Structure 1
Amino acid sequence: MATKKRVFISFDFDHDEGAKIMLAGQAKLPDSPFDFIDASIKEHLTGDWKEKVRRRMGNVDVVVVLCGEHTHTASGVAAELTIAQEKNKEYFHLAAYSDKTCTKPTSATASDKVYRWTWDNLKTLIGGGR
């Protein structure tokens, strides 16, 4: 069996924690192509939190940016995406909700697409298909 990818999930802690928990739970499915690395910063965004994210991101294969209705206002998600871009990490944006308008972080590029969250899509995206 192929080695599972290590995934960092960037999300809006104030609005999308439930969606993040569901996404992390999918890593436990028998046919999951990824392991979830809980690298979330749980304290307020003070001090050296960006350096902590840089260190934690150094050990992952792909960054999943979980996009909700307020992601465009989440400065922490924007900063995490910038760090992923600086570290040349693979990343993609995943719509946290199928019934809501999901927005990208401000550091996303114009060409960054927000993908639908289905199990088949997730497996394809983590495998590099985008």
Structure 2
Amino acid sequence: MTKKRIFISFAMEDSKYRDFLVGQSRLDHSPFEFVDMSVKQPWASSWKTQCRTKIKGCDGVIVLLSKNTYYADGARWEIKCSKEEGIPMIGMYVPSNERGINPPEISGNKIIEWSWANIKNFINSL
């Protein structure tokens, strides 16, 4: 099976959930696998150009949604960029008990609960 290239968009305060998702994909019994293309640290002034290039090279985008996402300008820009580039995108609540206000940029996209089956279905649909 060819691994899909996935961009993970998240608020910096939620980086542990990105780490959990990437770790989960590496488990022997994980029903899904992907190549993580997320931005792990903020770039200098040219980060938007570099980020757009990364997003354009991906098969899909997973947006980690939490109470922090609405206030995360970088994550909101990544969502907007993904839409502009026509990259398939899904939102996923992290953690499911701390939902905040979803940023308007994610509207029109499916939002799922974090589960192996839901992630697998999205990745296999790409």
TM bin, normalised by shorter chain, reads 0.7 to 0.9
Report the AA paired with residue 54 of structure 1.
Answer: R
Query: Are 2:74 and 1:55 equivalent residues in the alignment?
Result: no
Contact 1:19–1:96 under 8 Å retained in 2:
yes
| Cα separation, 2, equivalents of 1:62 and 1:22 | 18
* Correspondence for 1:100: 98
* Correspondence for 2:123: 126
What percentage of residue pairs aligned between the two structures are identical?
A: 26
Cα offsets for 1:24-50 (capped at 9, x unmatched): 112212344332324315136x51111
Normalization by structure 2: what TM-score? 0.87
Q: Note the residue ranges of structure 1 that are not aligned, 5 or more in a row.
A: none
Distance 1:75 1:106, change over 3 A: farther
* Correspondence for 1:71: 69
* Aligned residues between the structures: 125
1:112 aligned to which of 77, 84, 109? 109
Contact 2:5–2:59 under 8 Å retained in 1:
yes
Q: Which has the higher helix share?
A: 2
| Cα separation, 2, equivalents of 1:57 and 1:94 | 18
RMSD: 1.9
Query: Are 2:37 and 1:34 equivalent residues in the alignment?
Result: no
| Cα separation, 1, equivalents of 2:42 and 2:110 | 29
Contact 1:5–1:35 under 8 Å retained in 2:
yes
